Amino acid sequence: MHYLIPHFILTRLMGILADSKNQYIKKFLINSFIKIYRPKLEESLIADINDYATYNSFFTRKLCKEARPIESSYLSVVSPVDGTIVDHGLIERNMLIQAKKHNYSLHELLGEKVNKERNTPGYFITIYLAPTDYHRIHCPYEGYISSTSHIGESLFSVNEKAQVNISDLYIKNERAVMNIKNSVLSYSLVSVGASIVGSIVPFWFDKDTAVRNDFVREWRKGPEEGERQVLKGQELAYFKMGSTVIIVFEDSDKLDLHSLTTNKSVKFGSQLINLKKV
């Protein structure tokens, strides 16, 4: 059934409606969302739904700074998003695990050649964003953006059923990859698109009107040199609708794996995993 659904057509149609400034369409979509999902509007920077120009501007709303304090400890890698940890584990033989049953390639996920397996394996954490979650993506740990890219072709759903039933889901779907490094830690932040997700918008792109190809081009180009140094908690991108983020750490030996909790809900800015004390 996943293959029979016209994901691109549905995504395009939803994108048109979500960006519509028609007051009746906007209010219907926003009020329907609130009735179904009951978001905490008091956390939003703009609490009055009448102040949003479109449904998309409401869905991608920013939060008050006080709503998500950033864990400041030097040892803490923070969650880049609100969501639920659905998978995590060691990257052995350059393979990751999806839904506890499907193996998929690190090389194909990142869209680049992966160095010969290190003596110490890498580590990955997959976080699923439900429609109710905050949909902006932030920096888990400060560093320098060494490269960005946009790869993949499909837009399957990434819900629990899709994770179980579609092998190689994360390497089939469109995704934006950001590689970040500093003297302590190197990691990749992979934002995976999905059905109904209009685009993944990078932080350095600030035009009010744009089409999907504009975002793809920007991800492949990357930010200007002066914008490549990023801080913990800094906004890096946002999803138009919901999806998944995968963090790939190059060296698991630098991580305190006991500090990670399985299948837990996480909030942006809170501790996701700790670094080992040197």
Catalytic residue, candidates 157, 186, 191, 243: 243
- How deeply is 110 buried, as exposed, middle or buried, from its count of CB atoms within 10 A (0-12, 13-18, 19+)? buried
Catalytic residue, candidates 82, 150, 157, 191: 82
Question: Does the active-site annotation cover 150?
Answer: no
Catalytic residue, candidates 7, 102, 135, 138: 138
Maximum distance among all Cα pairs of the chain, rounded to whole angstroms: 59
- Residue 201's DSSP bridge partners are 238
Question: Does the active-site annotation cover 138?
Answer: yes
Radius of gyration of the chain (CA): 18
Question: Does the active-site annotation cover 243?
Answer: yes
Q: From CA 212, how far away is CA 101, in angstroms rounded? A: 32
Q: Choose among 7, 15, 90: nearest CA to 241.
A: 15
Yes or no: say if 201 and 191 are a contact pair by the CB < 8 Å rule. Answer: no
Active site residues: 82, 138, 243
